[in-house]
Chains A and B, each alone.
Chain A
Amino acid sequence: MTPTAVIQLYVFVLAGFVGFLVITRVPPLLHTPLMSATNAISAISLVGSLVVAGADRGTASTVLGFIAVTAATINVVGGFLITDRMLKMFRRHELPPGEKK
């Protein structure tokens, strides 16, 4: 294994661990927004798609890159918007006037 691969593995395992710890504490109330949020975040694969679409490695590569950019952008735009729309709906009982949140 190359040193880079080892570091990548470290990053993967530690990030997965952080994810596990954080997400364990997300209440079931927000499980659907959690799914759409993680989905939007993992659309970061757009970053890889951009390189493929813009590196000018031949027509086939560019077209594949274009498809990937489109698919990932759908998830970035749609994913963050729908998560926000859902989270906006979750509200508490109205507080009596004068009381602060």
Chain B
Amino acid sequence: MSRDLGIQGIYLASSVLFILGLRSLTRPDRARRGMQQAAVGMLLAIVGTLFQAEIVRFDWIAAGLILGTVVGYPLGMFVPMTAMPQRIAISHLFGALAATVVGIAEYWHGGHGATIAHGQMAALGFEVLFGGLTVTGSFMAFGKLQEFITGTPVTYRGQNAINISLFLATFGLFAYLIFFPASTPLFYLMIALALCIGVLMVLPIGGADMPVVVSLLNSYAGLASSATGFAIGNNVLIIAGALDGASGFLLSLIMSKAMNRSFGNVLFGAFGTPQISAGKTAEGLHVQSISAEDAAMRLAYASKVIFVPGYGMAVAQAQHQVRELAELIEKKGGEVKFAIHPVAGRMPGHMNVLLAEANVPYDQLYDMDEINSAFPETDVAVVIGANDVVNPAARNDPKSPIYGMPILDVDKAKSIIVLKRSMNPGFAGIENELFYDEKTSMLFGDAKASLTKLVSEVKSL
């Protein structure tokens, strides 16, 4: 009894450390310390659990802990920051897999449902449902981000009808199982259907919508952990899972708001349908291009410069060159800021991580709401591989598919330089009138090569 009490005390301490760890993330200068404390909380919980009377053999535990460490260490230490979106996606897979497998084992332990109460069955059902669809969903997201599965939305006739009937069938099975937990084949059928839902849910989603999907999977993985806690009666699991669930939920809300999609749209996975009806076309519009020398001249003598990075910067891995250019401009007396749109890139915070890796101080990174008022006083805004998030059509063309989406007001800057590979339109084929603005000059070419040129030109001035 006293042993149980001790273990519960440890779990309580871990829960507190987890919450404090997350709270530390509100302050970039304290975040590291806080998360280290959360890691200590995790260690305490693991060690405490090993003292549970139920645990009688340690061979497989040791094997799992060792194998997990051997795989996890390189995933933590050696994965490059540029691969972070897929790294995050795959970690949701592991979390959900653990929850699903524990759910199956618990069902097995309960005599294939024979001795499982209705309430526990509900918890187990949630666990394997959320777990199952997160396992395959994360794998699909991983595949799309790693680009071994096509990043363009895959759609076919009757897609929504199929998805909805699959969803209803799974939910029906779940409801039936709560009343009749011993229907063993149906339990496994439900898991199989959940796995299918995960695949079909992510299939129609394009690359630019990935931030929403990745956050949503984050939430589902957390809810699966929480359901595990309900099923095995463990409060620390319920708490940690709820924290993860809330965090992912909130992030997907923020992301969907930044893309001007309704939340219902997100919840039912109906996002990502490609919009064909583009607004204005480029007919009769004129593009001005600029040479690297002229662009460098303009940057070197500007007193206020804002860089606007997008997914193109991540693809070209040009963040180091951006930082170098920013430092040179500062040395020449200019003030440099970075404007980060919430959905720039493939996951929440993608640009921030890349720029931080390149040693850009975080007090130079500004959110959309903080920086939009600064554009009118900006001499040069430099757009690097961003497209939809700077498209003024979102503000002034009600016919545009992105109309209503909050954007960075780059078009209000005194002059604009856009680094772009070619004039191909971005995601969903929407023309960007910013590129045809008379204040805009286009610097064509690979972002990294262009920036390298700019750096050497500014140096020689």
**Is A38 in contact with B22, judged by CB distance below 8 angstroms?**
yes
Whether A91 touches B25, Cβ cut-off 8 Å, given contacts A12-B230, A15-B242, is: no
The answer to whether the Cβ of B175 comes within 8 Å of any Cβ in the partner chain is: no
Instruction: Tell me which of B25, B101, B245, B363 contacts A30 (CB under 8 A).
Output: B25
Give bound CA distance, A89 to B323, whole Å.
14
| A89 touching B61 in the complex, CB below 8 Å, given contacts A31-B348, A47-B237, A50-B46 | no
In the complex, which residues 237-275 of chain B have their Cβ closer than 8 Å to any Cβ of chain A? 237-251, 254
Q: In the assembled complex, which residues on chain A have CB atoms less than 8 Å from the CB atom of B56?
A: 54-56
> Once the chains bind, are A52 and B106 in contact (CB under 8 Å)?
yes
Alpha-carbon distance A45/B229, docked complex (angstroms): 8
A80 to B17 CA separation, bound complex (whole angstroms): 14
Contact present for B60 and A39 (CB under 8 Å): no
- Report which residue of B76, B236, B365 has the largest number of chain A beta carbons within 10 angstroms of its beta carbon: B76
Q: How far is the CB of B393 from chain A (nearest CB, A)?
A: 24
Is B367 positioned at the interface, with any CB of A under 8 Å from its CB? yes
Q: Which of B29, B68, B106 has the most CB of A within 10 A?
A: B68
User: What is the CA–CA distance of A82 and B326 in the complex, to the nearest angstrom?
Assistant: 27
Complex interface: chain B residues within 8 A of A97 (CB): none
Cα(A10)–Cα(B64), bound, Å: 33
Residues of chain B within 8 A (CB-CB) of A66 are 60-61, 63-64
- What residues of B have a CB within 8 angstroms of the CB of A70 in the complex? 64, 67-68, 71
A91 to B365, CA, bound (A): 11
Contact B19 A18 (CB under 8 A): yes
The 8 A CB mask of A4-32 against B (1 = contact, 0 = none) is 11001001110111111011111111111
B342 CB-CB contact with A under 8 Å? yes
Tell yes or no: A101 within 8 A of B by CB.
yes
The answer, yes or no, to whether B1 is at the interface (CB within 8 Å) is no
Asked if B432 CB lies within 8 Å of chain A CBs, one says no
With A18-B243, A35-B88, A74-B71 in contact, do A79 and B76 touch (Cβ < 8 Å)? Answer: yes
On whether the beta carbons of A48 and B221 are closer than 8 Å, the reply is no
> What's the nearest-Cβ distance from chain B to residue A89, in Å?
4
- Select one of A8, A54, A87 contacting B55, CB under 8 A: A54
Asked if B428 CB lies within 8 Å of chain A CBs, one says no
- Shortest CB distance B351–A (Å): 9
Residue of B nearest to A62 (CB): B60
Query: Smallest distance from the beta carbon of B320 to chain A beta carbons, Å?
Result: 13
B2 at the interface (CB under 8 A from A): no
CB contacts under 8 Å to B, within A62-97, are 62-94
How far does the alpha carbon of A89 sit from the alpha carbon of B61 in the complex, in Å?
Answer: 34
Flag if B68 contacts A61 (CB, 8 Å): no
- Please name the residue on chain B nearest to A24 by beta carbon: B250
Asked if B361 is an interface residue, CB under 8 A from chain A, the answer is: yes
Q: How far is the CB of A72 from chain B (nearest CB, A)?
A: 4
**CB <8 Å contact, B60 and A69:** yes
CB distance from B442 to the nearest CB of A (A): 29
Nearest opposing residue in chain A for B350, CB measure: A32
Interface centre among B79, B102, B225, B237 (most CB of A within 10 A): B102
Within the complex, what minimum Cβ distance (angstroms) separates B124 from chain A?
A: 12
Q: Kindly specify which of B37-45, B187-195, B290-298, B433-441 makes contact with the partner chain.
A: B37-45
Do A8 and B49 touch (CB < 8 A)? no
Whether A44 pairs with B236 at a CB distance below 8 angstroms is: yes
B363 lies within 8 A of A61 (CB): no
Please tell me if the beta carbons of A79 and B91 are within 8 angstroms of each other in the complex: yes
A13 to chain B, nearest CB (A): 8
CB distance B340 to A28 under 8 Å?
Answer: yes
Residue among B72, B109, B226 with the most chain A CB within 10 A?
B72
- Binary A-proximity of B43-85 (CB < 8 A = 1, otherwise 0): 0011001101011111011011101110111011101010010
Known: A39-B244, A81-B76. A54 touches B362 (CB 8 A): no
Given contacts A28-B342, A39-B95, A90-B356, 5 further A-B contacts (CB under 8 A): A15-B246, A19-B242, A61-B109, A65-B101, A87-B35
Listed by A's residue number, 24 A-B pairs whose Cβ atoms lie within 8 Å are A5-B230, A13-B242, A15-B238, A16-B246, A19-B22, A23-B247, A23-B250, A28-B340, A31-B347, A35-B88, A35-B348, A39-B92, A40-B38, A45-B99, A49-B64, A52-B105, A65-B101, A72-B95, A77-B75, A79-B72, A79-B76, A85-B76, A89-B81, A92-B362
